[in-house]
Amino acid sequence: MSSRDNILGRIRTALADDPPLERPAAPEVWPRESPSVDAMADRFAQELEELAGETHRCASMEDARAKLSELVAGLDEGKIGAIDHPLTRELAADLPADRIDWGAAEPDAPTVATWAASVVPADCLLADTGTCMVACATTHERLMCYLTPVCVVIARADRLFEHLPAAWDELAGRIADPELRGEFVFISGPSRTADIEKILILGVHGPKRLVVLVVG
């Protein structure tokens, strides 16, 4: 047995004897005021609008499907990519089957870049910054957040949180899950950049248009 194996063995033994580490409490960076869902939805829409994003509050999934169909009708011909999730399946129920790609073949970046839009589900909506948090288990799911010219995010209103610390207890449990794969992507508005003269340009490094559908 090598010296390296001896050292690693001692570390494993020491760790095995220690009790499990307790999850740290969420830091109280911002006070929790526990606003109503309507108040958080209004704040989210206001913050996202400041970042050139769009929010559509939909009373039901039927309204959300109608809004998605309207959005898709205004796009160029081409595939719509979607993260395969019960929420996106429900949202895209009215789209023609040959128009949407659910990523079963794990498309590469050049393929994702040809899609007219992507549809992704948000795990959390953070009201104070107009931010969508999307769990991406695979590379092509992550690319859907970056490469298509239009990104459509779907979330239910009960996924609204006033800020990140308010969502931390739930997120920490998922992050600690050893079976969880991939990463979380935080989306705050469409892609934007500015040159030295402070001229803002949208869509240079990612989607030019971000549309968030909040159901409920």
Is 207's pLDDT higher than 70? yes
**Phi first, then psi: what are they for 120, rounded to 5°?**
-130, 145
Number of domains in the chain: 1
Is 18's pLDDT higher than 70? no
Whether the CB-CB separation of 41 and 160 falls below 8 Å is answered with yes
Is position 182 within any domain? yes
Among candidate residues 25, 146, 36, 39, the one with its CA nearest the CA of residue 83: 146
Is position 61 within any domain? yes
Is position 25 within any domain? no
Grade residue 50 by pLDDT with cuts at 50, 70 and 90.
Answer: very high
Per-residue pLDDT reduced to its tens digit, 55-97? 999 999 999 999 999 999 998 788 999 999 999 999 999 999 9
What does the alpha-carbon distance between residue 167 and residue 161 come to, in Å, rounded to a whole number?
6
Q: Which residue has the higher pLDDT, 148 or 10?
A: 148
Q: What pLDDT sits at residue 62?
A: 96
Is position 3 within any domain? no
Q: How many percent of the chain have pLDDT more than 90?
A: 57
Is position 19 within any domain? no
Q: Which helix (H) or strand (E) holds 160?
A: strand 160-161
Is position 1 within any domain? no
Query: How many Cα neighbours within 13 Å face the side chain of 5?
Result: 2
The least confident of 62-66, 118-122, 204-208 is 204-208
The least confident of 34-38, 87-91, 186-190 is 186-190
Residue 170 is part of which domain span? 35-215
Is position 23 within any domain? no
Kindly state the tokens that stand for 5. 């194996």
Q: Look up the CATH number of the domain holding residue 130.
A: 3.40.50.10420
| CA dist 126 → 33, 143, 174, 191 (Å) | 14, 22, 17, 18
